[in-house]
Structure 1
Amino acid sequence: MQQIDFYMVDAFSDTTFGGNAAAVCPLTEWMPDETLLAMARQHNQSETAFFITTDSGYELRWFTTQGEINLCGHATLAAAHVIFEYLNYPETTIHFDTRFVGPLSVTRNGDWLTLDFPAWESEPVMPLPLLLETLGITQCKEVRVARDYMVVLETQQQVEAVCPNINAMIPLGKMVCITAPGDGEYDFVSRFFCPGESVPEDPVTGSTHSMLIPYWADRLGKTQMLARQVSSRGGDLRCQLVGNRVLIAGKAATYLIGKVFLRS
């Protein structure tokens, strides 16, 4: 029987039941992909982060209940929180190697953890009738696409009011982000929908801010911004555009520590 440490962390929040929950499992070596996927399905969270220690830092991978994904912000934040808080890590910056997006880093400054991620440029596209129909809207300012669709609305209230038919989004073949300028405190707000995944609406999505930050930096004429993902759990993100990279900062809170027992 193999025992593996298990953590559940609320990322992009400093309180329990806020932000986005991720499972985190430190490993001594990589196990077969089918085992990692089975574990992620058992955890039944939007993502499980797995990492191993290397000579240069850590190798990091992310699994949903459907399979491995190319980038996940909140699970990276959760993994860094575990390393800083429970693995006696002595430095202020953690370096991760990843399979799909290359090196990533997370730096701690007080209670804030800052992700250094690639910036994703988005391209304008014609609004797909199915996209607007499944969001329950008839018009928008614009639609753009990178890894995900980005639908730009006029106001924060419109973003908060959207009640999508997420199952009907599956034929779109992509995740869907909606966004708008924020009211007062926040420069911009967003929500993120995950058709076909176990979590229909992702509470706080670090990776989609790789697309949102360059867009809003251009529209607002500023490189440092405060963002809010206005899901029911919600979370704050400090955002900065630095060349072809984005810095995304948030807090994290441990919810659960335990053991996974793998019996063959």
Structure 2
Amino acid sequence: MKLPIYQADAFTDTVFGGNPAAIVPLKEWISDDLMQKIALENNLSETAYLVENNNRFHIRWFTPAVEVDLCGHATLAAAHILFEELGYAGDIIFFDSKSGELTVKKERDLLTLDFPATKPTKAEIPSELVDGFNIKPEITLKANEDYFFVFRNETEIRNLDPVFAKLKKVKSRGIICTAKGDEVDFVSRFFAPAAGIDEDPVTGSAHTKLAPYWSEILGKQTMNAHQISARLGKLECTMKGDRVLISGMAVSYLKGEITV
């Protein structure tokens, strides 16, 4: 069996920036086991699979280790591939997913995700998580399956040096680490060793939790954000009721064929 495959860098305007995602358009679903094996072989933080149904697209996302319920950068990358490589003619794409209906709107080179927002809340934090960082957070929260740590400043975020063996012991999707930015409204990094990703370069879904938190703290509806991994991601987040609009760019890197 031969399957098409594309790769795009999301939340960046240059190749080798942002977060790479593989996109595999399908005519019909293949087995979950095969999708997981392909994702492991790709060895990217996410591989997204698409099946079209009445001009909508069902989307699923796999890390090298597990299927996840929501992924922002791979959704942005999938929309980019549909618009730029596969000739999708409209200016908005409707995705059906495990997290409900998601949309991506195209305005010139900018793509905007419309995702459900989640506000972090107080929760009991396993000691292994706090002990897994060389710098202790000022505030510890949780947002659904992610832990959410607030640090004092951008320098602390840059200097984080996690002990992944400790973080991996705690069952969670990942740990969002954030602080006010020096040049943008807020910065973040995202670590997910339990999901097979030590550090994710740019995490759109994390910003569904970052945006409502910082919107309340800063008193702003629209915010500029950087995810300050080595690849750097640039995002604009706008709160819209219980939804968050997450905007960024994407660039194509690869197109080819899988033989399985």
Q: TM-score, normalised by structure 2?
A: 0.96
**Aligned position for 2:59:** 60
In 2, the alpha carbon distance for the partners of 1:197 and 1:61 equals 15
CA contact 1:44–1:198 (8 Å) conserved in 2: no
The one-letter code matched in structure 2 to 1:28 is K
The one-letter code matched in structure 1 to 2:72 is G
Q: Which secondary structure does the structure 2 equivalent of 1:135 belong to?
A: coil
In 2, the alpha carbon distance for the partners of 1:199 and 1:233 equals 15
Q: CA deviation at 1:39?
A: 1.0
**Aligned position for 1:208:** 206
**Aligned position for 1:149:** 147
Q: TM-score, normalised by structure 1?
A: 0.95
Q: CA deviation at 1:112?
A: 0.9
The one-letter code matched in structure 1 to 2:212 is P
CA contact 1:124–1:142 (8 Å) conserved in 2: no
2:114 corresponds, among 113, 116, 136, to 116
Q: CA deviation at 1:251?
A: 0.7
Q: CA deviation at 1:65?
A: 1.4
For this pair of structures, how many residues does the alignment match?
A: 258
Q: Which secondary structure does the structure 1 equivalent of 2:239 belong to?
A: strand
CA contact 2:129–2:166 (8 Å) conserved in 1: no
In 2, the alpha carbon distance for the partners of 1:168 and 1:130 equals 6
In 1, the alpha carbon distance for the partners of 2:91 and 2:133 equals 42
1:240 corresponds, among 238, 241, 245, to 238
Partner deviation per Cα, 1:87-111 (whole Å, 9 max, x = no partner): 111111000001x211000001111
Q: CA deviation at 1:129?
A: 3.0
In 1, the alpha carbon distance for the partners of 2:122 and 2:225 equals 22
| Superposition map of 1:32-111 within 5 A | 32-98=31-97, 100-111=98-109
Q: Which secondary structure does the structure 2 equivalent of 1:91 belong to?
A: coil
**Aligned position for 1:177:** 176
Q: CA deviation at 1:172?
A: 1.9
In 2, the alpha carbon distance for the partners of 1:5 and 1:163 equals 38
RMSD: 1.1
In 2, the alpha carbon distance for the partners of 1:126 and 1:189 equals 24
CA contact 1:127–1:142 (8 Å) conserved in 2: no
Partner deviation per Cα, 1:4-40 (whole Å, 9 max, x = no partner): 1111111111111100111000000011111111111
**Aligned position for 2:7:** 8
Listed as ranges, the gaps of 5+ residues in structure 1 are none
Q: Does 1:133 align with 2:146?
A: no
In 2, the alpha carbon distance for the partners of 1:125 and 1:261 equals 46
Partner deviation per Cα, 1:128-186 (whole Å, 9 max, x = no partner): 43222101124x321110120110011001100111111211122121110000103x1
The one-letter code matched in structure 1 to 2:230 is S
Q: CA deviation at 1:3?
A: 1.7
Compared CA separation, residues 59 and 156, structure 1 to 2 (3 A): same
In 2, the alpha carbon distance for the partners of 1:197 and 1:101 equals 18
Listed as ranges, the gaps of 5+ residues in structure 2 are none
